[in-house]
């Protein structure tokens, strides 16, 4: 039996949910995930990769089912102490989560690449798929926000977490991306894929950093017919996070049509939610095929069915 | 009322116990502790200062009363995760303890000195005394150990914790000490002290790094009459830790007489345990006054009484 390659371009939570469905449909060994590292940060001396960890923890079934984020059985003793000292507490790090960051930071200090450490973490959770950071080089998403009086550039997490993305955005850039090379295997995974799935992640700050790394956007464009994207915008709003507001702030239409304009060069098909079925024609007017189907992944069953639809859209049998 | 200065040259556990007694005898505001940083380490990207933290945690009444080390109400979730990844787990870091290291590492990365961070940590616990690292510069105790076949130099904690100091030692050095300056206030605290107390810490690896910093040994020697040291060796053995074995390995006699030879130039008085009362004459033959008194600080009352004896020895009224 020939092993297929399903390549998923991924951000955080939305991508993780899709992957949780996809692994019910195809063998995990057939899946290569290319993950975002633009929202990585170094805090308290630790290298934190939020999107990679969200994928790992979700697929390892370690996410707290009640909160919907963070780890099961998590405790907050370290952050309580940081708080006692008046330290930086806006980026909440649970004790279990810290263990991942301690391990990653130590391995990086030994000279391991982020790819290598990520593979080790995924192996420890016995996940079976490949998770590749898009690059082993440091790239950092920087956000120009409008303070009451002046514009100011802040780190992604300062905008996203500390300021709860509750401030108008003027510009984005991915610092360091000019010097970044794709991590080993990234371009091959795209070019050799039977299907490239663009997860329902934020097109600008989750998928954007992937495409900004040298060669990635060209690779995706070169296999456009095998590329199927899922709109993170449903009925004019982001299911989670600030994608809608951010698209509006940066001059894009916060609808599936706006998403289609961002992806038309890269993906042959855009999958939109059934709530947007009336916009199939408008999406196709942007030069993409449109498929309307349930995309709100309220259960793993819905996610699995979405996975089947995505593979079917590019003629890959589940 | 004139505020006195009681300066304590301190290692870890033994010094912390003595300080817990001393603060019952004199106002904490009169005490300046000069602490050892030779066994500091950077692990998992975090700056860890074991001796400074042992003092802080002990005086803050945060040490676990059953284990006798580590923090009360400590949990080990982060290290469990590190273990899952097969990471470095020989240096055990509790979740609460990690909070201190996260805070310290972050402040240092902002450009704060170790003195400044240490003062902030001590203030957060409302301890009332001054705790000064002997230097803000990095010094690292390095230990040449005898492996079965060859000599090898390792970091202090690799010898002390990872190898449980269960290997012969050939040499010690304090890497970086040539470039290290005393932290602000250290020399003044010694020179202006009404009493300088050398805690019952390991003379070679706890007090040794303090004396090796430029100017410190000279300062102590210049106030020798006000200096009183407590022997960490009782009846030929260290109460805690490897001081006896280490002294023997490095050619010193592991008795109060051996301690006297190390300190005779620096301290006018050596306080020895009543168990060694028969050696008062032998100590005084080394050129120090000797006082035999209970030094095994099994309770804070014993420690307080020892504190009174130390101050009395240099004519400071408690």
Residues of A in contact with B78 (CB under 8 A): 78, 95-96, 98-99, 102
Q: Does A144 reside within a domain?
A: no
Predicted confidence (pLDDT) per residue in B258-270, tens digit: 999 999 999 999 9
N residues, chain A: 318
CATH number for position A249 = 3.40.50.10680
**CB-CB contact of A145 with A170 (8 Å):** yes
Same domain membership, residue B107 and residue B145: no
Same domain membership, residue B125 and residue B159: no
pLDDT band at A129 (very low <50, low <70, confident <90, very high): very high
Domain limit, last residue, from B159, B177, B195: B177
DSSP state of A213: S
Closest CA to B32 of B174, B209, B179, B199: B199
Q: Of A86, A97, A106, which has the smallest distance from its Cβ to B87's Cβ?
A: A106
Predicted confidence (pLDDT) per residue in A251-297, tens digit: 999 999 999 999 999 999 999 999 999 999 999 999 999 999 999 99
Q: Which residue has the higher pLDDT, A165 or A9?
A: A9
Q: Of B45, B81, B106, which has the smallest distance from its Cβ to A109's Cβ?
A: B45
pLDDT at site A166: 85
pLDDT band at A181 (very low <50, low <70, confident <90, very high): very high
Q: Write down the mean pLDDT value for chain A.
A: 95
Predicted confidence (pLDDT) per residue in A203-256, tens digit: 999 999 999 999 999 999 999 999 999 999 999 999 888 899 999 999 999 999
Q: Does A158 reside within a domain?
A: no
Q: Does A167 reside within a domain?
A: no
* Count of Cβ atoms closer than 10 Å to residue A156 Cβ: 22
Task: Give the minimum alpha-carbon distance from B258 to chain A in angstroms, rounded to a whole number.
Answer: 41
Q: Does B92 touch chain A (CB under 8 A)?
A: no
pLDDT band at A188 (very low <50, low <70, confident <90, very high): very high
Same domain membership, residue B256 and residue B161: no
Give yes or no for residue A1 having a pLDDT over 60. no
The alpha carbon of B19 is separated from its chain's Cα centroid by a whole number of angstroms, namely: 11
Tokens 């449109």: give the residue: A290
> ipTM for the complex?
0.91
Q: Does B318 reside within a domain?
A: no
pLDDT at site A239: 84
Same domain membership, residue B23 and residue B167: no
Predicted confidence (pLDDT) per residue in A295-310, tens digit: 999 999 999 999 999 9
Q: Which residues of chain B are under the pLDDT cut of 50?
A: none
Closest chain A CA to residue B101: A44
N residues, chain B: 318
Q: Does A152 reside within a domain?
A: no
| Cα A189 from Cα A105, distance rounded (Å) | 26
Same domain membership, residue B248 and residue B262: yes
pLDDT at site B20: 96
| Beta carbon pairs, A and B, within 8 Å | 122
Closest chain B CA to residue A104: B44
Same domain membership, residue B157 and residue B99: no
pLDDT at site B83: 96
Q: Does A117 reside within a domain?
A: yes
Q: Does B81 touch chain A (CB under 8 A)?
A: yes
Task: Give the minimum alpha-carbon distance from B209 to chain A in angstroms, rounded to a whole number.
Answer: 26
Residues 6+ positions from B202 with CB-CB distance below 8 Å: B11, B208, B232, B238, B241, B242, B243, B246
Same domain membership, residue B168 and residue B102: no
DSSP for chain B, written as a single string: -PPP-EEEEE-SHHHHHHHHHHTTTS-GGGEEEEE--TT-EEETTEEE-HHHHHHHHHHTT-B-TTTSSSBTT---HHHHHHHHTT---SS---HHHHHHHHHHHHHHHTT--HHHHHHHHHHHTT--SEEEESBSS--EEEEEEE-SSSEEEEEHHIIIIITTT-S-EEEEEEETGGG--BPTTHHHHHHT-SEEEE-SS-IIIIIHHHHHSTTHHHHHHHTGGGEEEE-SEETTEESSSSHHHHHHHTT--SSHHHHHHHHTTT-SEEEEEGGGGGGHHHHHTTTSEEEEE----SSHHHHHHHHHHHHHHTT---
Q: Does A124 touch chain B (CB under 8 A)?
A: yes
Q: Does A255 reside within a domain?
A: yes
Same domain membership, residue B126 and residue B39: yes
Same domain membership, residue B263 and residue B187: yes
Q: Of B84, B96, B106, which has the smallest distance from its Cβ to A77's Cβ?
A: B96
Q: Which domain holds residue B155?
A: 140-177
The torsion angle over the Cα atoms of residues B36, B39, B43 and B45, rounded to 10 degrees, is: 40
Residues of B in contact with A80 (CB under 8 A): 96, 99
pLDDT at site B212: 98
Percent of chain A beyond pLDDT 70? Answer: 99
Predicted confidence (pLDDT) per residue in B136-185, tens digit: 999 999 999 988 788 999 999 888 888 888 889 999 999 999 999 999 99
Residues of A in contact with B41 (CB under 8 A): none
Same domain membership, residue B157 and residue B52: no
* Total number of domains in chain A: 1
Residues of A in contact with B47 (CB under 8 A): 45
Same domain membership, residue B110 and residue B74: yes
Domain limit, last residue, from B160, B177, B194: B177
Same domain membership, residue B30 and residue B63: yes
Residues of A in contact with B124 (CB under 8 A): 84-86
Q: Does A157 reside within a domain?
A: no
CB atoms A44 and B124 under 8 Å: no
Q: Of B73, B80, B121, which has the smallest distance from its Cβ to A99's Cβ?
A: B80
pLDDT at site B71: 94
């Amino acid at each position: 039996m020939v092993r297929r390659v399903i390549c998923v371009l991924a951000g955080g939570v939305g991508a993780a949910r899709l992957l949780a469905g996809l692994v019910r449909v195809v063998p995990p060994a057939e899946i290569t995930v290319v993950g975002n590292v633009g929202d990585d940060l170094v805090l308290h001396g630790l290298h934190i990769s939020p999107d990679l960890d969200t994928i790992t923890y979700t697929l390892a079934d370690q996410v707290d089912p009640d909160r919907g984020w963070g780890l099961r059985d998590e405790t907050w003793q370290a952050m309580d102490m940081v708080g006692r000292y008046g330290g930086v507490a806006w980026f909440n790090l649970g004790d279990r989560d810290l263990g991942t960051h301690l391990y990653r930071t130590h391995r990086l200090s030994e000279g391991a690449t982020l790819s290598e450490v990520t593979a080790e973490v995924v192996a420890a959770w016995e996940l079976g798929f490949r998770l590749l950071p898009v690059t082993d080089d440091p790239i950092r998403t920087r956000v120009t926000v409008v303070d009451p009086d002046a514009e100011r550039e802040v780190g992604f997490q300062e905008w996203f977490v500390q300021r709860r993305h509750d401030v108008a955005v003027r510009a984005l850039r991915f610092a360091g991306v000019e010097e970044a090379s794709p991590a080993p295997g990234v371009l091959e995974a795209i070019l050799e894929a039977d299907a490239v799935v663009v997860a329902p992640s934020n097109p600008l700050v989750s998928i954007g950093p992937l495409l900004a790394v040298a060669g990635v956007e060209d690779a995706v464009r070169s296999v456009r017919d095998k590329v199927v994207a899922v709109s993170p915008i449903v009925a004019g709003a982001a299911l989670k996070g600030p994608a809608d507001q951010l698209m509006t702030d940066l001059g894009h239409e916060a609808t599936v049509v706006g998403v289609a304009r961002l992806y038309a060069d890269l993906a042959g098909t855009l999958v939109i939610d059934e709530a947007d079925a009336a916009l199939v024609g408008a999406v196709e007017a942007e030069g993409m095929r449109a498929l309307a189907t349930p995309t709100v992944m309220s259960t793993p069953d819905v996610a699995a069915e979405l996975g089947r639809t995505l593979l079917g859209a590019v003629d890959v049998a589940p």
